[in-house]
Structure 1
Amino acid sequence: MRRTDPEGHGPVRYGPVLPGDGLPVLPELTAVLSAAADRTVQGPVGGGTDLRDAACGYWTRRGLPTAPDRVAAAPGAPALLVALTAALGGDVLVPRPCAAWWAPYARLLGRPAFHVATPAECGGVPDPYALLETVRRVRAEGGDPRLLVLSVADDPTATVAPPEVLHETVEAAAAEGLHLVSDETWRDTVHTPQATMLLSPAEMLPGRVTVVSDLAGALLPTGWPAAVARFPAGDGGEALHARVLDVLTALDARVAEPVAAAAAYALGEPGPVTARRAASVALHARVARAAHSAVVGAGGLARPPQAGRHLYADLGPLRSALAARGVGDAQELEDFLTSRLGTAAPGGHRFGDDLGALRVRLSTGHLLGGDEEGADLLASARPWELPRVQRALISLTSVLDDLRDDAQRREPPR
């Protein structure tokens, strides 16, 4: 198929954004931000006392006791990852696929980013044996792997790493002397928390794990950039924290004071915030299940979604039907589905996957219609049955079913 906008392909600036929740901003958050709108003095690099104290409480409630002098805040998780990568030095290891924003920041600093295959059970965490082999190969070729970035609740695959798989990977990383950055942006969006055990690598290897969380995952709108990092205790964690603050200072990467006030309020998890989060997670879980059924029903492949606001689909089994439409790789699949669905559908190559693989991330937020139209979602007892949500799901199902029917017609007679 002909690409009508060649400039919109490939460069980092055209990469996929963090999936939004498709809901209007929580009024209590708006009130807090508005009340702080007259704060004209810049806050300190790394975050003020209120924000860092709130982050400590947030992590302590999750079994990770934290001191304020081991916390740093920044305007979004990418700034923290840039600072951590610069502070730690060496080469970077990431799973394949991984969040779209991880690898570009290593390359920005002139550091190689090596992708490692994930196990069959989940994404977000490298297979431990593949990790060991990759580390040894990189060192044999003169590289210096020091940093492993992983995610227990993953974007893009929407899976949660089982504790036993995570433990094996953490042990392998520890044996090779790697520092781990655990991106826990989506940990509070697990669809069935009562049936899904989520553990942080910081619980398993407390001295060598820095936890990073972008608050746009579950607490703030995506347009209010704020993220927090939790550093290990001990001298190593103290030195790393200091180096990261140096980098953030050089970048002048400060959280805007009104956003910092809203972030501190959200991290405190008052009733309105937790109620909205629960409603949002339940809504996206329901829509993700419907999207998963559409993909699998059409003959595609996808792990059942367990967290987040997205679904990672493999349409490889429909390759013959897609080829007839001029689709032969992930970029062309992105173009095709974005055009047919009317919403962004980033191909797997955006997440470090093979260009030739016909994989794509589908966002449940886009199926809901967008933030501006989200008020009725909150007012409805069964928001997934609203006409516009049903129309979006029917559109997705129709596109996929057309591909399935075409693929079946193209199968050779038996």
Structure 2
Amino acid sequence: MRRTDPEGQDQGPVRDTPARGHGPVRYGPPLPDDGLPVLPALAAALAAAAGRGGEEPVGGGPALLDAARGYWERRGLPSAPGTAAAGPGAPALLLALTAALGGDVLVPRPCAAWWAPYARLLGRPVFHVPTPAESGGVPDPYALLETVRRVRDEGGDPRLLVLSVADDPTATVAPPELLHATVEAATGEGLHLVSDETWRDTLHAPHATVLLSPAEMVPDRVTVVTDLAGALLPAGWPAAVARFPAGDSGTALHARVLDVLTALGARLAGPVAAAAAHALDEPDPVIDRREAVVRLHARVAAALHTAVVDAGGLARPPQAGRHLYADLEPLRAALGAQGVGDAQELEDFLTARLGMPAPGGHRFGDDLQALRVRLATGPLLGGTDAERLECLTSPAPLELPHLQRALMSLRSVLDDLRDDAQRWEPPR
């Protein structure tokens, strides 16, 4: 198989993932976890519903959907009855949406690791569109138009664009002007948009960062999907909600998605639905924990960014989430001496050296040959619940000995690469 760039130029053969046991689906990286024990109020909500042995109705019960509509209302996205659905995690909802909409799928490069596999599972082609230099998650509008034209010229049928304003893996937030241009280009080409807003409540500087949803711009062409593992629930309690457009087209899409969820048996467990509804209602303990978690991970992500840049790597400053996307291309010579020549080898090298997952950029649709990697902040918080909780409650978490040791270890690995790279620089 060969690959082409967005202009349709042949880029040569696609290299298979080199090592056995590194498949893109079963071994793909999960969402970056917050690394913290479950909030007691959420545990109590789950325990109170533990006697519910039944499942939720397909698409969620009334209490959960009412809570979801209230959640969106507080974010300027009013939602009428019959325009919301819930499922056991965002992947189930995206799979159902992709099946319901049909056609080919467009995604940014890079993008969340779980987006493309669900389209491919359905036999749908997936086309990656480059993002601009300042942010990820939202494709460049001109590259999007060119990709749509090329796909159609080759007999394809692009119908769906998946994007994220607050992004995994790049941890950036797309500026409103870029988002507006991309949304305008997509809707002008007749595409339906799925806005993954899993990370919208994890802005590192919420009062200094403008985050707009595409659903605010074109309410009749955007379905919003939010995985509650982003900011509200533990990752092990899978739950997600989707907000559909109002009107006939949204109603029809909602109905088709419920059909697919029914065929999949994709229902939430009753106790998890109760905890999800409690979290979506956003009582004070949930808000307080979320804000504390965001502050903690923002500090650690900033320290991680400094370590990467000081070592000579490249990274956009993190603005959301619990991760950083690093480009270690400037350290290629030093990494090459360690047997690292592509993203899979970089993943293996850093995972072993850091003692924590470090998925390579190829997991997110990036070029296998590029030395890019997503680094998560959660594994740096400590090895025990007590250490992680101490990070959460400390006024100066970066001064805690166990977090200092974790950051020093990471810095040491990166600094060794920088020093090696500098020794091998040719004389000027």
Deviates more, 1:25-34 or 1:384-393: 384-393
- Asked whether the equivalents of residues 283 and 384 of structure 1 are also in contact (C-alpha less than 8 Å), the reply is no
Given that 1:23 and 1:370 are in contact with CA atoms closer than 8 Å, whether structure 2 keeps it comes out as no
What stretches of structure 2 of length at least 5 have no aligned partner?
1-17
**Residue 393 of structure 2: which of 379, 401, 407 is its match?**
379
**2: distance between equivalents of 1:229 and 1:394?**
41
| Aligned counterparts of 2:142 and 2:71: Cα–Cα separation in 1 | 34
Identity, % of aligned pairs?
Answer: 80
Equivalent in 68, 79, 100 of residue 87 of structure 1: 100
Secondary structure of the equivalent of 2:82?
helix
Task: Output the TM-score relative to the length of structure 1.
Answer: 0.98
Deviation at residue 10 of structure 1 after TM alignment: 2.4
CA distance in 2, matches of 1:392, 1:100: 26
Q: Which residue of 1 aligns with 2:50?
A: 37
The 5-angstrom pairing of residues 284-303 of structure 1 reads 284-303=297-316
Partner of 1:216: 229
Match of 1:242 among 238, 252, 255: 255
| Comparing 225-234 and 34-43, the one that deviates more | 34-43
**SS state at 2:178 partner:** helix
Distance 1:125 1:370, change over 3 A: farther
CA-CA distance at 1:386 after TM superposition:
1.4
Q: Which residue of 2 aligns with 1:165?
A: 178
Q: For residues 116 and 363 of structure 1, what CA distance do their matches in structure 2 show?
A: 24
Quick one: distance in 2 between partners of 1:90 and 1:268? 36
For residues 95 and 21 of structure 1, do their structure 2 counterparts lie closer, same or farther at Cα, with a shift above 3 Å needed? same
CA drift at 1:371: 6.8
User: Deviation per CA, 1:128-147, whole angstroms, max 9, x where unpaired?
Assistant: 00000000000000000000
Q: Deviations over 1:50-88 (max 9, x none)?
A: 000000000000000002310000000000000000000
Partner SS for 1:122: coil
Paired with 1:394 and 1:271, the residues of 2 have a C-alpha distance of 35
The answer on whether the counterparts of 1:327 and 1:336 sit within 8 Å (CA) in structure 2 is yes
Tell me, yes or no, if the aligned pair for 1:210 and 1:230 is still in contact at 8 Å: yes
Task: Provide the rounded CA distance (Å) in 1 between the counterparts of 2:276 and 2:212.
Answer: 24
Aligned twin of 1:24 = 37
1:108-119 paired onto structure 2 within 5 Å: 108-119=121-132
Please give the secondary structure, in 2, of the residue aligned with 1:206. Answer: coil
Residue 119 of structure 1 deviates from its aligned partner by: 0.9
> In 2, Cα distance between the equivalents of 1:74 and 1:304?
33
The equivalent residue for 1:230 is 243
CA contact (8 A) 2:54 2:269 kept: no
In structure 2, C-alpha distance between the alignment counterparts of 1:399 and 1:42, rounded to whole Å: 48
Q: Following TM superposition, by how much is the alpha carbon of 1:121 offset from its aligned partner in structure 2, in angstroms?
A: 1.4
1:97 paired to 2:110: yes
Q: 1:22 touches 1:371 (CA, 8 Å); kept in 2?
A: no
2:325 paired residue number: 312
Structure 2 Cα separation of the partners of residues 188 and 371 of structure 1? 26
Helix, strand or coil for the counterpart of 1:160?
Answer: coil
The residue type paired with residue 164 of structure 1 is E
C-alpha distance in 2 between matches for 1:157 and 1:379:
27
Aligned length: 410
**Closer, same or farther: CA 131–371 of 1 in aligned 2, 3 Å:** farther
User: Structure 1 CA distance, aligned partners of 2:81 and 2:275?
Assistant: 18
State the superposition RMSD in angstroms.
1.0
Once the two structures are superposed, residues 330-366 of structure 1 have per-residue CA deviations (whole angstroms, 9 ceiling, x without a partner) of 0000000000000000000000000000000000001
* CA deviation map 1:16-68 (0-9, x unaligned): 01111011110000000001001012210000000000000000000000023
4+ residue stretches of structure 1 with deviation over 4 A? none
* Secondary structure of 2:26's aligned partner: helix
- What do residues 264-313 of structure 1 show as CA deviations (whole Å, max 9, x unaligned)? 00000100000000000000000000000000001100000000000000
